[in-house]
Amino acid sequence: MLSYRHSFHAGNFADLLKHIVLVEILDYLIQKEAGFEYIDTHAGAGLYSLSSVEAQKLQEYAGGIGKLDAEDFPELARYFEVVGSFNPSKELEFYPGSPMIANFFLRSQDRAWLHELHPRDYDLLRETMSESTITRVQRQDGFEGLNGLLPPTRRRGLVLIDPSYEIKSDYDRVVTNLVTGHKKFSQGIFALWYPVIDRRTIDKLQAKLIKSGIRNIQRFELGIYADDYARGMTSSGMIVINSPWTLFNKMSQVLPKLAQQIGEANNGHFKCDVMVPE
């Protein structure tokens, strides 16, 4: 049940999309002095060495961030600044997961809640975040933890939900938790990551969200191959509820360029649309 470890996939094309969206949202939140809360339901280890045995086994980062040159993507200057802060030698040696990306932005008035069930990754995450006084790391099912944290005391916040989906019931649980969480924290920003392995499964997930009654839902998707179940994950996406006004414009500019750059054999593709208007 707990076989998935993100260290094998850090920096891949799915991370690119997820973390570009994450950076844009966090950068927006810190524009106001008022504090906010960051909740990560499936945090992982926090920081990944790209020279590790795990990362080198698949070398998925080579098809993700390894394909990008910061000079070609001025729109992503903030993203590259964040990644660069963990690589002082200017060589790409480490890739930050969502907890460390969030930590880059968090201020003394903010708080973070990180959940991770895998015992080894939980220990690594605790060690990685040990110097943070505003972060709480919990070995707990992130879906269960989320329910107890909403609404946050600060009334501003971002919830990132990105399970591995190795448990098939996660496709239903993400929808249930989004709907329940939104009822408790309707003004909050919710960001849901999903993999496209079987397009029909994702179509069903998205149809449930459209019918949920939740407003202001945007979708951003990036793919390297056309849909093909035999290939495994060919695309991944982010569904964002209550998106910052800056996000859609940024993604509409950068997704076509990313699809062209990372697509395999000219098969790169993207989606950037409004699933449900405000």
Task: Specify the DSSP class assigned to residue 109.
Answer: T
Out of 110, 121, 162, 170, pick the active-site residue. Answer: 162
Nearest to 235 by CA among 274, 277, 193: 193
Give CA 154 to chain center in angstroms.
Answer: 22
Q: Which amino acid is at 98?
A: S
Interatomic CA distance for residues 151 and 255, integer angstroms:
32
Q: From residue 112, give the alpha-carbon distance in Å to each of 94, 109, 134.
A: 22, 11, 6
The reply to whether 110 belongs to the active site is no
* Helices of type H across 129-277: 142-149, 170-184, 199-210, 245-262
Contact 189, 244 (CB under 8 A): yes
Tokens of 186: 């309707």
Give CA 174 to chain center in angstroms.
Answer: 14
Give me the active site residues, please: 162
